[in-house]
Amino acid sequence: MEKMNLAFEKVKMLVGMEADDEPAAEEESSFAFMDDFNRNCTLSTKQSILVFFNPIKFGITFTFGNLLSLGSTAFLIGPKRQVTMMLDPVRIYATAMYLASLIVALFCALYVHNKLLTLLAILLEFGALIWYSLSYIPFARSMVSKVMVACFDTEF
């Protein structure tokens, strides 16, 4: 092990690096990358308001993104297995709700052009996506149901 470290130090010297320079440079570059990433991925207040007041474009892109994610999982595990898993008796209702919400969101965004209906369809799609995703985690839906009932129970 000591010989390997010595050889590694010699390679660093040949390249022109010193042993102590590498970790600091990596930390600085990772912080710089994360700062740039956070700066480029945040929405300004004006952009957030535009997304809220123009949900049709967001609804179309969000729905197509969900369709692409379904397609990507079908690509990874195979379309036959994907359909078999989606039609499993445990999650058939969640799948039906999710697919119906995708269709409703696209219908509201592309055909109806009503912003309020599109916003409601996006919220329905998001909730159906969460419920569908929870169907793949054992006991997750029952746990979330119990937590929701406990949080919103009005009896004292």
CA separation for the pair 132, 143 (Å, rounded):
14
Tell me the three state secondary structure of residue 114.
coil
> Quick one: 133 and 56 in the same domain?
yes
Question: What would the pLDDT profile of 136-153 be if each residue is shown by its tens digit?
Answer: 999 999 999 999 998 988
Report, in angstroms and rounded to the nearest whole number, the Rg of the chain calculated over CA atoms. Answer: 25
From residue 145, give the alpha-carbon distance in Å to each of 52, 89, 148, 156: 29, 19, 5, 19
> Quick one: 102 and 25 in the same domain?
no
CA separation for the pair 129, 122 (Å, rounded):
10
> Quick one: 30 and 71 in the same domain?
no
Question: What pLDDT was estimated at residue 16?
Answer: 60
Residue 45 falls inside a structural domain: no
For the chain, what is the mean pLDDT? Answer: 83
Question: What pLDDT was estimated at residue 36?
Answer: 73
> Quick one: 142 and 119 in the same domain?
yes
More confident residue, 145 or 42: 145
Lowest-confidence region among 35-39, 62-66, 138-142: 35-39
Residue 47 falls inside a structural domain: no
Lowest-confidence region among 27-41, 82-96, 104-118, 139-153: 27-41
> What's the pTM value of the predicted model, to 2 decimals?
0.67
What is the rounded average pLDDT of the residues 61-67? Answer: 94
Question: What pLDDT was estimated at residue 24?
Answer: 47
> Quick one: 103 and 70 in the same domain?
yes
Domain that holds residue 109: 52-152
> Quick one: 118 and 98 in the same domain?
yes
Total number of domains in the chain: 2
pLDDT at residue 18 is higher than 70:
no
